[in-house]
Amino acid sequence: MSTVSKTTEHGTVGDSLPENSSATVSAPPTTFRDTLRMLTVLFKMRIVVLLLMAATGGAFMAAEGWPGGSTLALVWIAGGMAAAGSSSFNQYLERHKDDKMGRTMKKRPLVNGEIPNPKWVPWVSALLILLPVAITFTFNKPLSFFLALGAFIYVFIYTIWLKPRTLLNIVIGGAAGSAAVLSGSAAAGYWNSPGALILALILFLWTPFHFWSLAIMYRDDYAKADVPMLPVHTTPKQAAWWTMSHTAPTCLFGLLLAVFPFLGLAYLIPMLLISADLFWRNVKLIKDPSKENARGLFMSSNYYLTVLMLAIYISSVLPSPF
């Protein structure tokens, strides 16, 4: 793809911007605050925090209670580095598609000119992934494996292979979230604990309807960028039913975790409430597949994951009433 440069008052920027770019060109950040904001977007820190919450949940499930401060530090440092590296790699590989989407063209620094020369991004991304994988391999091979697996699924399986080719790309891509859960349980010394495996399944089921609800909201953007997300190639109502095919089992398995004695009622009650809200919002989307209802389901999916993890953390450390 041919490229052009765009000139601002700060000089020439945007060596990687495509010729037909419609992005709003910004200058590179000049203050610490702006640099921090730019890096937060580049490394997709919101997604990184969600993945770290999932990994922490895996550690709590494996430990059946408080996993220890050193374990959590390991989860957040190693997992955070690998997730940030994978996210920036994803953004680097998709920068030309991001340029065509209104949701991303103004915000992402590889598109809007805040990073005028992106050549360093894949090298930093690779370092952020390989460093924690290599270090943890010396003392916790299962953790190293799941860190590497999550990055491999997100960068190679999802971003490079599946996303440009199939409507069901995010179904398999959701396994990256499952790998995050199992990295947490591996850090706690019991990667295949039954509770952690069920939580990994919940993340696998949760990811598609979370992203499909977003894709319903931005259906035109994905179509313009030629990204074959499922809602682009189905009717909105069909897409709403597809989301339900993942929402319903997510709610079911989320409630199933209450059978573990170290969780119990302190876990079950908030999960009943958030599961009912999530299910009802998907029903509303089926009845009226509007962008407003898609936004409601998307927000509820975020609340669901937050409540799920907080319920695990809190209930697993509370003394059992029995």
Residue 114 corresponds to which amino acid?
Answer: E
More confident residue, 3 or 220: 220
Cα separation, 289 vs 25, in Å, equals 34
Q: Does 17 have pLDDT greater than 80? A: no
Position 154 scores a pLDDT of: 95
Given pLDDT bands bounded at 50, 70 and 90, which one contains residue 29?
A: confident
Given pLDDT bands bounded at 50, 70 and 90, which one contains residue 194?
A: very high
| Burial grade of 167 (CB within 10 A; 0-12, 13-18, 19 or more) | middle
Q: Do 269 and 263 form a contact (C-beta atoms < 8 A)? A: no
Using alpha carbons only, give the angle 300, 301, 305 rounded to the nearest 5 degrees: 115
- The residues pairing with 6 across neighbouring beta strands, listed in sequence order, are 13
**Residue entry with tokens 């993890």:** 309
Q: Which of 320, 201, 190 is nearest to 254 (CA)?
A: 201
Give the three-class secondary structure for 7.
strand
- Looking at the chain, the whole-number percentage of residues with pLDDT higher than 90 is 71
Least confident of 18-27, 102-111, 233-242, 244-253: 18-27
Cα separation, 49 vs 280, in Å, equals 26
Position 30 scores a pLDDT of: 80
> What are the Cα distances from residue 166, in Å, to 173, 220, 229, 232?
11, 17, 8, 11
Given pLDDT bands bounded at 50, 70 and 90, which one contains residue 15?
A: very low
Position 320 scores a pLDDT of: 64
More confident residue, 26 or 123: 123
Q: Does 132 have pLDDT greater than 90? A: yes
Least confident of 20-24, 25-29, 99-103, 148-152: 20-24
Position 108 scores a pLDDT of: 85
Residue 85 corresponds to which amino acid?
Answer: G
Cα separation, 181 vs 197, in Å, equals 8
More confident residue, 49 or 173: 49
Task: Give tens-digit pLDDT for 75-121.
Answer: 999 999 999 999 999 999 988 877 777 666 677 888 888 888 889 99
Position 188 scores a pLDDT of: 97
Given pLDDT bands bounded at 50, 70 and 90, which one contains residue 210?
A: very high
pTM for the model stands at: 0.88
Position 311 scores a pLDDT of: 97
Q: Does 310 have pLDDT greater than 90? A: yes
Position 16 scores a pLDDT of: 43
Q: Does 183 have pLDDT greater than 90? A: yes
Across the range 39-60, mean pLDDT stands at 95
Cα separation, 79 vs 131, in Å, equals 11
Given pLDDT bands bounded at 50, 70 and 90, which one contains residue 13?
A: very low
**Structure tokens belonging to residue 174:** 């959701």
